[in-house]
A and B are shown apart, each in its own frame.
Chain A
Amino acid sequence: MDTDQLIRSLAADNAHRVPRVGAMLTMALLVAAPLSILIFATFLGVRPDVMTAMRNPFFDMKFAVTLSLAIPAIIVSLHLSRPEALMRGWGWLLLLPVGLLAVAIGSEAMMAPAMPMTMRLMGKNSRVCLLAIPAMSLPLLAGALFGLRHGAPSRPALAGALAGLVSAGLAATLYASHCTDDSPLFVATWYTLATALVTAIGAAVGSKVLRY
C-alpha cells in the first residue's frame, strides 16, 4: 500500500471517534474499584473504633496524605498521556503528600508522645500494610494502565509509574480506614514502601503496554 492509499483510508476513518483519555481512565478506575473494595471488605474492613478515631487529627491526616498522592497522580498521568507533554513543571504536584507527611511528622514530634518513636514507626500492622496496599492496588493498577493505554505517552515507563502511584494512592485510602496505626511515622515508612513496590510494578508493566 503506498502512502497516498494509506492516507485515503485514514481520511475515510475520520468519523470514528473515541473518548478522551480522562474519560477512559475514569471509567477503567470505576470498573476496577469494586474489586479492590471487595478485597477490602473480605479481608480488612473498617476499624471498629472508627468513630473515636475520627476525632484524632492523625487519623484524618492519613486520608489527606493518600488522596494528595492519588489525585495529583491522576492529573499528572493525564498530562503525560499527550505525546508532546513534558514532566517539567508538573513534578512538584507529586511532592504534595511528601510535604503533608513532613508537616504531620513535625507536629507529632512537638506533642507529648503517647508511645516511643520506634513503636510508633513499627506499629502493629506493618506486614498487613505491605501486603494489603499492593493487593488492593492491583485491580486499580490494571484499570489505570488500561485507561492510559488510550493515550500516547512519550515515556511509557514513567506513565506506568504514575499509574502505580494512582492505584497505590487509592488503595492506601481504603487501607487507612482499616489500619489502627495513625502515626505519620508509620505512614511515611510502610505506606511509602508499599507505594514504591506498586510504582515499580507499574513502571515495569507500563514500559511494555503503554508504548503506542
Chain B
Amino acid sequence: MRGREDEWTGLMRSAMAGDDAAYHRLLKAVTPVLRAAARRGLARAGQPPDQAEDIVQEILLAVHLKRHTWDSEAPFAPWLFAIARNKLIDALRRRGRRVFVNIDDFAETLPGEAAQETASAGEVAAQLGTLPQRQRDVLQSIAVESASIKDTASKLSMSEGAVRVALHRGLAALTAKLRDH
C-alpha cells in the first residue's frame, strides 16, 4: 500500500515536470483502484455497479483539470482520494435523485427505466457528441484512433498549437457538461 502510493507520488512529480509517459502510467495505475471504489460506493447506495465506469471517467477528468492544486511536496494518494470521494458523492446524489423520481412517478415502468440507467454507461461518449465539431474531431483522433498531436494536426490541417487548444477545451467542456447535466 505504502509502496504503491509512493510510486504514484513519484509518477505525478515526473508528470508535472513534463513527462507524458509517466502521467499515462499513473492514470492507468490509479484507474483500477478508482473503479473498485466506485463499485463499492454504488453497491452501498444500492445502485447497479455498471455505472462505475462513468464515475471513474469523471474522476479522471477532474484529476486532470485540477492537477495544479496538487502540492508536489505532498503525497499524491490523499489528494486523489479526496477528488474521487467528491465525484463519487456527486454522482450518487445525482443518480439517487433520478432513481427516486423514477420510483415515485413511473413505478410501473421501473424495469424499463432501470434498463435505461444501465445503457447510459458511457456518459462521456454521449457528451462528446455535443461538443463543437473541431474539439470532437481532435478528441476522436487522439483518444479513439490514438493518433499523436502531430498526426492529428496534419490530418485535420490544423497547427499543433490549435490541436492542443482544441484538445484542452474539449476536455474542459466535457467535464463541465458532466458536472452540470
Contacts and interface: CB of A to CB of B under 8 A. Distances in A.
Interface of A: 1-21, 81-84, 150-152, 154, 211-212
Name the residue in A3, A81, A83, A152 with the highest tally of chain B Cβ atoms < 10 Å from its Cβ.
A83
B143 A1 contact: yes
Contact of A152 (B56, B66, B74): B66
* Chain B interface bracket (under 10, 10 to 19, 20 to 34, 35 or more): 35 or more
Contacts of A18: 68
B139 interface: yes
Given A10-B23, A12-B149, A13-B167, 20 more contacts: A1-B128, A4-B28, A7-B24, A7-B60, A9-B139, A9-B171, A11-B23, A11-B27, A12-B20, A21-B68, A21-B69, A82-B71, A83-B66, A83-B69, A83-B82, A84-B74, A84-B81, A84-B82, A152-B83, A152-B86
Nearest to A10: B64
B69 A6 contact: no
B143 A8 contact: yes
B176 to A, nearest CB: 10
B152 to A, nearest CB: 9
> Could you tell me the dominant secondary structure of chain B's interface residues?
helix
Contact of A211 (B21, B31, B179): B179
A151 B164 contact: no
A154 B83 CA distance: 8
Interface in B138-173: 139, 142-144, 146, 148-149, 164, 167-168, 171
Contacts of A8: 24, 142-143, 146
A106 B173 CA distance: 54
A12 B179 contact: no
Contact of B144 (A1, A15, A20, A21): A1
Given A1-B128, A3-B60, A212-B62, A9 B143 contact: yes
Contacts of B53: 2-3
A10 B164 contact: no
Contacts of A5: 143-144, 146
Contacts of B125: 1
B70 to A, nearest CB: 8
Interface of B: 15, 18-21, 23-24, 27-28, 31, 53, 56-57, 60-62, 64-66, 68-71, 74, 78-79, 81-83, 85-86, 90, 122, 124-125, 128, 139, 142-144, 146, 148-149, 164, 167-168, 171, 179
B69 A82 contact: yes
B164 A84 contact: no
A3 B68 contact: no
A54 B103 CA distance: 68
B85 to A, nearest CB: 8
A13 B168 contact: yes
A15 B70 CA distance: 16
B31 to A, nearest CB: 6
A3 B143 contact: no
Contacts of A3: 31, 53, 56-57, 60
A21 B70 CA distance: 11
Contacts of B167: 9, 12-13, 16
A13 B71 CA distance: 20
A154 B139 CA distance: 29
20 contacts: A1-B139, A3-B31, A5-B144, A6-B60, A8-B146, A9-B139, A9-B171, A10-B23, A11-B21, A14-B18, A14-B19, A15-B18, A15-B20, A16-B164, A82-B71, A83-B69, A84-B82, A152-B62, A211-B179, A212-B65
